[in-house]
Amino acid sequence: MAARAATTDRPQAKAFRSELSPVSFLRRSAYVFPDKVAVVHGQRRVTYAEFDERVNRLASALIGTGVAPGERVAFLAPNIPALLEAHYGVPAAGAVLVPINTRLGVDEVSYILEHSGTRMVFADHELAHLVQDCPLPVVRIDDTGLPGDPYEDFLASGSAAHVEHAVADEEQTISINYTSGTTGRPKGVMYTYRGAYLNSLLEALQSHLRPESVQLWVVPMFHCNGWCFTWAVTAVGARHVCLRKVDAGAMWELFEREGITHYNAAPTVHLGVVTHPSAHRLERGLTVAIGGAPPSPTLLAKLSALNFIPVHVYGLTETYGPYTVCEPQEEWGRLSEEERALMLGRQGVHNIVADPIRVVDAEMHDVPRDGETMGEVVMRGNNVMKGYFEDPEATALAFAGGWFHSGDVGVMHADGYIELRDRKKDIIISGGENISTIEVENTICSHPAVLECAVVAIPDERWGERPKAFVALAEGQRASEQEIIDYCRERLARFKAPVAVEFGELPKTSTGKVQKYRLREREWAGREKRVN
Amino acid sequence: MAARAATTDRPQAKAFRSELSPVSFLRRSAYVFPDKVAVVHGQRRVTYAEFDERVNRLASALIGTGVAPGERVAFLAPNIPALLEAHYGVPAAGAVLVPINTRLGVDEVSYILEHSGTRMVFADHELAHLVQDCPLPVVRIDDTGLPGDPYEDFLASGSAAHVEHAVADEEQTISINYTSGTTGRPKGVMYTYRGAYLNSLLEALQSHLRPESVQLWVVPMFHCNGWCFTWAVTAVGARHVCLRKVDAGAMWELFEREGITHYNAAPTVHLGVVTHPSAHRLERGLTVAIGGAPPSPTLLAKLSALNFIPVHVYGLTETYGPYTVCEPQEEWGRLSEEERALMLGRQGVHNIVADPIRVVDAEMHDVPRDGETMGEVVMRGNNVMKGYFEDPEATALAFAGGWFHSGDVGVMHADGYIELRDRKKDIIISGGENISTIEVENTICSHPAVLECAVVAIPDERWGERPKAFVALAEGQRASEQEIIDYCRERLARFKAPVAVEFGELPKTSTGKVQKYRLREREWAGREKRVN
C-alpha cells in the first residue's frame, strides 16, 4: 500500500510548495499594511508600501548595474534604513548580501570584500574611508533619505515596479556574515533562505512579536542579520526604529517617544541601559532578548526590577544568532529573585525550530547531566549555517562528526538546560583543574561596586595558569584589589579566586564582547604561551 | 563568481538541515516542560513527559503489530487524548494518520477505510458500531485512561522508550483528511510534514500562543487536524483541554475552571456560546479563531462585547484549515462597532506562510479590486495540500492552471481583502444577476429576532431562480415571513430579497456547516435542476 501511495503522491507543478524566502515577509506586509509606518529613523517615517517600493528600486537598480544571480553585494553601515532595505533588495535581485562589521579596519574590510568576491559595495558616509581605495564600485550612503544622497540616487535609477522574486532552491545562500573573530582571518558564514525564514518565524514567536510591536534597533544588523529580526519584525508587520549609534540616553528617550516594545542587545549594552541616569521602572513591560555573551545574574535581576522582560538566548554567528532560549519555568516564580536570576542566567534549551543541543566530550559522548562536567557545546539542523564560504577545510573542521562545534565550553544541568562555562580558548587550567572564567566573573559582578569584569589566565610558575580579574567599577563606586579577592574567596573554591585585580575600562569588540585576547596578550607578552 | 560559490556551497551530511516534522514539537516540549500538565481531560491530567511516553508506546505498539512506513492508521474519535496522541504516535511510527469525521455513517466510514487502504482502526466506544463489521483490526478506545480500556492495553503493549523518528523527506504525507463533502464520495486530502509544520508555527504566531496558554478543544481534531492546533499548542508547550462533546454550558464552566485562553470554532458554535444563559463579559480576553463558514457581522459584534478577541480565518480542508486571516487595521479602531464588524467579517488576506490569495475569472485573470465583481478564490504554496489520495483526476482538476481551486466565490476589495460571496454551487442566478446568498444571510442575521439562517435558490418560472430564506429564530423571539422580507427589501437591492421565508432549525454537518443542499433538494424535488 505504501508503494501504491507513492505513485500518486505528487500533483503537477508542485502547487503545494513554495521555496521559503524571507523576502515574502516584506511582500505580504506591504500588501496587508501599505500605509502603516514600517521604518522610523529620526524624523523620517517610511510606510510599508514605501519600504517595498524602495526595495524594488534597490533590486532593479542592482540588476541594472549587472549584478548577476548569486553574486555578492556588500553593505558597510550602522543600523540605518539602507541596511534594512538591503536585507530584502539584495535577495530580491537574486544576489547574496554581505553585511560588514562596522568596527573593522581597512585591511579586514578589504579581505572580506576580496574573499567574498563582492561585486559592489554600499558604504555609510562615516565608513566610506574604509573602502576609498577599494577597486569595486562603491555607492556612498549619506543617510539623508533625500535626492543628492548617492544611495538615494542609486534607488532613483531603479524602478518602483514589483521585482519578481522566486528563489529556485531555498537552500541557496541569502547572506554571508563574516565572523568578527577576535583573531585570525574572518570566516564567511553562509545563511540559507530556508534557515533565515525559519529562524525569523521562530524569533517572532519567541519574542511575542505582533503587528503592534515596535522594535528598537540596538543589536547591529550586520551581526547575524540582526539575529534575524531584520526579517522577523517585518514578517508580522511590526515597526522598525533605526538608531545610528547605540546610546543609553537616546534609547530611554525613544522608549517613550516611539513606544518601543522590543529591543535586543548584548549584556554590556543592557548594563548601560539599566545603570543610566534616566533609568526608571517601566509601566508596560519591554521585551528584551539578551545574547552575544552570558548575562550575569546581577544584570538579569536589575532588568526585572525595571519591568524589562528578559528573553535570554544563546547562539553564534554560525547559528543565525539565537539557538537556545532559557525558557522560564512556572515554578521559578516561587524562587527568590536571586535564585531565579541564577536559573535565567543559564543558556537554556534548543528553541522550537532547532535540533536538541548537546554538550559532548572529545569522543562526542554526552557529558552527564550534573551541572559540573564540562564539554563542548555542539548543534545541528535548520538553525545552523550551511558552511563557511570558500573554506571547505574550516567547514569540515567545524562540522566534524556531523555536528557544528561551537567552541564554547558548557555543562548540562539535571533539567536539560545548558550553561556556558567558557570559550574553549578562554578556559583557565590551573594545576590540572579547569577554572570557568564565567563563573569567576559572575561572582565578581555580584559585588555591589562592580559594573563589569573579565577574567583571564596569567602565567604562574607553580600552577601553570592562575586567574586575574580586570574590573570596571560602577560610577561613584570604589573597591580595593584585596576586597575583590576576599569577596571571591568567600564564595568560590579557593583556587578559583583571582590572584590579581586590575581596575579600568575593558577592551571590547563592536558587538560588545570583551576582547579577552587583548588582556591575555599583555599578560603573556614575551612568553611562548597561546595568545588566541 | 556565482559558479565558484556553488562548488563549496554544501558541507557534508547536511548537518545544516533537518526535515521539518511536527513530531519534533512534542519531543521538545517533553524535554523542556516534562512536569507541566500538557493535556487535561475531565479529571485526568497528563504531563508532557507522560504525553511523550504514551506517544512512544503508541508508536512502538503500532510498529510491533506490523504497521509499515507509509501505511495508513485510522482514528474515529471525538476530541479526546487518544486522538491527540495519534497526531504524534502515528507519524512517529512512520505511518500516515487518517482521522475520520465522527458524524459519518457506516457506508462512508467503510468507504474511507477502504479507499485509504487503512491497515488498522482505533475507534471510540461510542463510535465502535461504525466499524463493527469492518475486516480490519480494530482497537476500541473506552476513554478511561485506565487498564482494561483496550486502547490503554494497546499502549501498554508498546515500549516507553524513545522511538527514533526521522522523516526522510518532509514532503511525505503525514495525514490524509477525508473531506466531509456535502455530496459525492469523500476525497482524501494529503497533508505533508512540511506543510503541517509551517502551518502549526503560523497558527501559534497568529493566535499568539505562549507556553502559558490553555486551549479548549472545540473544533474537531478530525477537521484539518484541528486546524493544525493539535501541533501548534504543543509546539509552544501550552496546554490542551479536551472535550468529548461541544456544549456551550460546559465551555463556560471550563473557561473559568481551566483558565482557558484560546479556542477555535465555526460561527454556529460561537453563536451558541455568546447566546448561552451563562454568557458574561470576560475579564481577561479570550482569543477565538473563527472559521469553517463566514461569521456574520452581528456575531463578531457580540463576541467583542463579551471581550472575546476574534481571529477571523478562512480556509478549507485542502489548505490545512486557515489560509487567510482578517488582519485588523489600526484605523478600524475609529469605526463604529457595526462598521468594524463589517470589516472584520471579510475573509481577509493570505497569512504569513501562505502565498498571496487570488480571486479570478474563468480565464484565471484577477477580478478588479472593486468589492463587487465575483470570481473564484484560488490559492497555492506551502499552505495547500499535496493532492487527493489515489485520485489523480480530482487532483488535476483541483489544481487546474497550477492553482488550487477552492470552489468558493468571492470579491476582492480595494484594500486587498477578500470577501466570500458564496460556494460556487450555492450562488443564485436570478434573471442573469448573481445573488450572493451570504450577503442576504448577513442582512437577515442582523435582524434582532434572528439566531441564524440559510438562503438557497428556489425555482422560478420567470427568473430561473429566486432566493428563499430558512430562518432559526433566537430563543423567545418572533418574526413573520413578511417582516423578514420587508427588512431585506429596505437594506438590499430588491431582486436580492427572499421571496419566501421558512422558520425552523437548520440542517448541519458535523463541523457546523449548514447543509444547503438538503434545503435545495426539497425545493427542487422532481425538477431537472442541479442539486449538488
Contact A205 B36 (CB under 8 A): no
Mean pLDDT of all residues in A217-240: 97
State pTM to two decimals.
Answer: 0.89
Q: At what angle do helices A48-64 and A81-92 cross, to 10 degrees?
A: 60
Whether B11 contacts chain A with CB within 8 A? yes
Statement: residue A182 has pLDDT above 60: no
Nearest to A12 among B15, B211, B399 (CB): B399
- Give chain B's radius of gyration (CA, Å): 24
Chain A residue numbers with beta carbons less than 8 Å from the beta carbon of B16 are 192, 195, 380-382, 384-387, 404
Contact status, residue B465 vs residue B457, Cβ threshold 8 Å: yes
Q: How far is A180 from chain B (nearest CA, A)?
A: 21
Q: How far is A339 from chain B (nearest CA, A)?
A: 19
Contact status, residue B86 vs residue B58, Cβ threshold 8 Å: yes
Chain A residue numbers with beta carbons less than 8 Å from the beta carbon of B237 are 327
How does residue A513 score in pLDDT terms, banded at 50, 70 and 90?
confident
B410 grid coordinates: 468571492
- If phi over 0 gives left and psi between -120 and 50 gives alpha, with beta otherwise, what is residue A361? beta
Q: How many residues can be counted in chain A?
A: 532
Nearest to A402 among B15, B349, B399 (CB): B15
Contact A399 B15 (CB under 8 A): yes
Nearest to A18 among B173, B382, B399 (CB): B382
Judging by DSSP bridges, how do beta strands B308-316 and B286-290 pair with one another? parallel
Cβ neighbours for A348, distance < 8 A, ≥ 6 positions apart: A312, A313, A314, A324, A325, A326, A327, A417, A418
Chain A residue numbers with beta carbons less than 8 Å from the beta carbon of B171 are 10, 17
- pLDDT tens, residue by residue, A91-120: 999 999 999 999 888 988 999 999 999 999
Q: How far is B189 from chain A (nearest CA, A)?
A: 11
Residue A230 inside a domain? The answer is yes
Question: Shortest CA distance to A448 belongs to which of A477, A427, A483, A470?
Answer: A477
- The CB density around residue A397, as the number of other CB atoms within 10 Å, is 11
Nearest to B117 among A4, A117, A190 (CB): A4
Chain B residue numbers with beta carbons less than 8 Å from the beta carbon of A49 are none
Interface of B with A in 179-218 (CB under 8 A): 190, 192, 194-195, 201-202, 204-205, 208, 210-212
Which pLDDT does position A10 carry in this prediction?
41
Contact status, residue A276 vs residue A474, Cβ threshold 8 Å: no
Residue A285 inside a domain? The answer is no
Rounded Cα distance, A329 and A270, in Å:
23
Rounded Cα distance, B252 and B258, in Å:
10
How does residue B463 score in pLDDT terms, banded at 50, 70 and 90?
confident
Whether A457 contacts chain B with CB within 8 A? no
Residue A45 inside a domain? The answer is yes
Contact A395 B33 (CB under 8 A): no
A478 grid coordinates: 570604589
Compute the C-alpha angle B222/B223/B227, nearest 5°: 115
Which pLDDT does position B13 carry in this prediction?
52
| Domain final residue pick, A240, A265, A290 | A265
Burial A105-115 (b: 16+ CB within 10 A, else e): eeebbbebbeb
How does residue B293 score in pLDDT terms, banded at 50, 70 and 90?
confident
Q: What is the CATH number for A197?
A: 3.40.50.12780
Contact status, residue B158 vs residue B61, Cβ threshold 8 Å: yes
Question: Shortest CA distance to A58 belongs to which of A119, A139, A133?
Answer: A139
Question: Shortest CA distance to B117 belongs to which of B55, B176, B63?
Answer: B176
Nearest chain A residue to B399, by CA: A15
Whether B385 contacts chain A with CB within 8 A? yes
- pLDDT tens, residue by residue, A358-370: 999 999 999 999 9
Which pLDDT does position B180 carry in this prediction?
63
Which pLDDT does position B331 carry in this prediction?
94
Cβ neighbours for B150, distance < 8 A, ≥ 6 positions apart: B139, B140, B141, B142
Interface of A with B in 112-171 (CB under 8 A): 117, 119, 171
Chain B residue numbers with beta carbons less than 8 Å from the beta carbon of A403 are 15
Whether B18 contacts chain A with CB within 8 A? yes
Which pLDDT does position B1 carry in this prediction?
32
| Domain final residue pick, A265, A285, A313 | A265
Kindly write down the DSSP assignment for every residue of B52-81, as one continuous string: HHHHHHHHHHHHHTTPPTT-EEEEE-SBSH
Nearest chain A residue to B201, by CA: A201
Residue B233 inside a domain? The answer is yes
Statement: residue A415 has pLDDT above 60: yes
Burial A183-197 (b: 16+ CB within 10 A, else e): eeebbbbbbbbbbbb
Contact B237 A327 (CB under 8 A): yes
Residue A279 inside a domain? The answer is no
Interface of B with A in 257-286 (CB under 8 A): none
Cβ neighbours for B455, distance < 8 A, ≥ 6 positions apart: B428, B437, B440, B441, B444, B467, B468, B469, B470, B498
Contact B387 A11 (CB under 8 A): yes
- pLDDT tens, residue by residue, A243-282: 999 999 999 999 999 999 999 999 989 999 999 999 999 9
Contact A18 B381 (CB under 8 A): yes
Nearest chain B residue to A34, by CA: B415
Instruction: Give the count of Cβ contacts less than 8 A between chain A and B.
Output: 201
Cβ neighbours for B4, distance < 8 A, ≥ 6 positions apart: A117, A390
Nearest chain A residue to B391, by CA: A8
How does residue A2 score in pLDDT terms, banded at 50, 70 and 90?
very low
Which pLDDT does position B379 carry in this prediction?
98
Contact A380 B416 (CB under 8 A): no
Compute the C-alpha angle A62/A66/A69, nearest 5°: 80
Best of B4, B10, B16 to mutate (most A CBs within 10 Å, chain A): B16
B365 grid coordinates: 485573470
Q: At what angle do helices B437-445 and B481-491 cross, to 10 degrees?
A: 110
Nearest to A31 among B119, B330, B349 (CB): B349
Residue B232 inside a domain? The answer is yes
Question: Shortest CA distance to B297 belongs to which of B265, B348, B340, B349?
Answer: B340
A496 DSSP 8-state letter: G
Contact B18 A381 (CB under 8 A): yes
Which pLDDT does position A79 carry in this prediction?
98
Best of A10, A16, A118, A205 to mutate (most B CBs within 10 Å, chain B): A16
Statement: residue A5 has pLDDT above 70: no
Interface of B with A in 216-235 (CB under 8 A): 235
Q: How far is B211 from chain A (nearest CA, A)?
A: 9
Contact A11 B194 (CB under 8 A): no
Rounded Cα distance, A423 and A223, in Å:
19
Kindly write down the DSSP assignment for every residue of A186-248, as one continuous string: --EEEEEHHHHHHHHHHHHHHTT--TT-EEE--S-TTSHHHHTHHHHHHHTT-EEE-BSS--H
Residue A138 inside a domain? The answer is yes
Cβ neighbours for B77, distance < 8 A, ≥ 6 positions apart: B83, B102, B122, B123, B124, B127, B141, B143, B221, B222
Report the number of distinct structural domains present in chain A.
2
Domain hosting A146: range is: 27-265
Which pLDDT does position B518 carry in this prediction?
87
If you search the block for the grid coordinates 475507534, which residue do you land on?
A: B123
Mean pLDDT of all residues in B122-143: 97
- pLDDT tens, residue by residue, B178-200: 986 555 688 999 999 999 999 99
- pLDDT tens, residue by residue, A341-384: 889 999 999 999 999 999 999 999 999 999 999 999 999 999 99
Contact status, residue A187 vs residue A388, Cβ threshold 8 Å: yes
Q: What is the CATH number for A454?
A: 3.30.300.30
* CA dist list (Å): A438 to A327, A345, A410, A457, B37: 21, 11, 10, 12, 35
Residue A251 inside a domain? The answer is yes
| Interface predicted TM-score (ipTM) | 0.88
| Domain final residue pick, B238, B265, B292 | B265
Cβ neighbours for A439, distance < 8 A, ≥ 6 positions apart: A421, A492, A496
Which pLDDT does position B241 carry in this prediction?
98
What do you get for the CA distance between the two ends of chain A, in Å?
Answer: 59
